[in-house]
Structure 1
């Protein structure tokens, strides 16, 4: 039995993204898909005393309307990485586990450069998985052959990866053709993002819809107790 999930990479995703990674045996970053503006690929939210704030990686999009996420380049001269780190530090330095998380997160922002968005997203995703003890194999969609058809491509990726079950996000229910997976003898299941408990959080009313860094800064290793598939 092998479970596989396939999702586009996001910038410092929320905790549900990492629970999906932890729930499967292989997680395929689906960055051969078209880059979409004002989406989660290059931005996410943090909490501040003034409310929720976006952190956005500036990327090159002018005249590149059909580029894939994989092809999307970061604006090298924007100074975004140091600016993002400064913002994180300003808003989370009072958090109980800021120093612990900063020890491995700060160097990613300040001591290395990534030309492509996919590369930066994967670097952060893998670092967070490492901290949480998530051992799921992470691969790229371009490690495999890609066929035509929205559902057909997903099912074929699963087949190439040797999957017996495909775990999908619930938002895909509107377009996935379940018969395509059935024909491949691959079970299709839907991930449930509901029912997360609250945790100690800075700055006013609690919200789940923020980057997982909020959970890590506030809870450290006990962050696992506030997740579904990541356990001590």
Structure 2
């Protein structure tokens, strides 16, 4: 039986394409034993407010931590979760499905407030949001699956550790993946496309695709998963 996996760094409340990637594979690996990159999606994402797009950023400890791995990054302000939820509540309380999604998403923020590491926070949200999107793909952590030396070698190792014969990559990785090396290990490489997602009813002016998936959930509720299917909604 063929098995397809994807391997991606954890992001904070990711956009809908991240979850489309998760549901497109048989297993998804959170690749957090690699270097943390600043001003990236690891600790921040965008929501839509009456004033326009707004960044929600988890404050993290960075002083003297130049080479830290994602799973080593710690939160610097324990009050971030309450502040983020306040912004979300103010921005989405008029959304058509806010009443439906308020309790489960607020519960994620209440749980996240007690966590000290970014990777654990991201894992919590990704898992919880998958449930709300009716996605049941198993999530793994790369640090639990062993390692290998070299960028391509590490990814191939993760594929083999999970018995995968296909690796589904984001499109940006096409410039560095050594497809021949994957093939030599019995793993085919394919690339995800993020084009063609349908628009959905959205607050505050012109439609924006590149927002956290919570925008989709608050606006469409139980129908959210239909909008992960390109051209189908």
Smaller-chain TM-score bracket: over 0.9
Q: How far is 1:144 from its partner?
A: 1.0
Give SS of 2:147's match. Answer: coil
Do the aligned partners of 2:179 and 2:188 also contact (CA within 8 Å) in 1? no
For residue 68 of structure 2, what is the aligned residue in structure 1? 67
Equivalent residue for 1:103? 103
Shift of 1:100: 1.4
Residue in 2 that maps onto 1:206: 207
For residues 102-181 of structure 1, the aligned pairs below 5 Å read 102-111=102-111, 112-181=113-182
Instruction: Kindly indicate whether residue 195 of structure 2 is the aligned counterpart of residue 194 of structure 1.
Output: yes
The separation in 1 between residues aligned to 2:21 and 2:69, in whole angstroms, is 23
In terms of mean alpha carbon deviation, does 99-108 or 27-36 score higher? 99-108
Give the equivalent residue in structure 1 for 2:85: 85
Deviating 4+ runs (over 6 angstroms): none
Q: Distance in 1 between matches of 2:110 and 2:163?
A: 38
Deviation string 1:168-217 (CA, Å, 9 cap, x unpaired) is 00000111111110100111000010011100000011010000000000
Offset, 1:101: 1.0
User: 1:104 and 1:162 mapped to 2: Cα distance?
Assistant: 34
> How many corresponding residue pairs?
230
In 1: Cα distance, 2:226 partner to 2:153 partner: 37
Determine the C-alpha separation between the residues in 2 that align with 1:74 and 1:45. 19
Equivalent position of 2:47 in the other structure? 46
> Quick one: distance in 1 between partners of 2:72 and 2:66?
11
By how many angstroms is 1:110 displaced? 2.7
Distance 2:110 2:134 in 1: 24
Distance 2:227 2:146 in 1: 37
Q: Give the 3-state SS of the residue equivalent to 1:58 in structure 2.
A: coil
Number of the residue aligned with 1:27: 28
Contact 1:76 1:115 in 2 (8 A): no
User: 2:106, 2:228 → 1: CA distance?
Assistant: 24
What's the counterpart of residue 59 of structure 2?
Answer: 58
Q: Please say if residues 134 and 225 of structure 2, whose CA atoms lie closer than 8 Å, have aligned partners that are also in contact.
A: no
Output the CA distance in 2 between the equivalents of 1:178 and 1:164. 13
TM-score normalised per structure 1 = 0.96
Matches of 1:76 and 1:139, distance apart in 2: 27
- Aligned position for 1:185: 186
Aligned ranges 1:1-20 → 2 under 5 Å = 1-20=2-21
Q: 1:119 Cα shift? A: 0.4
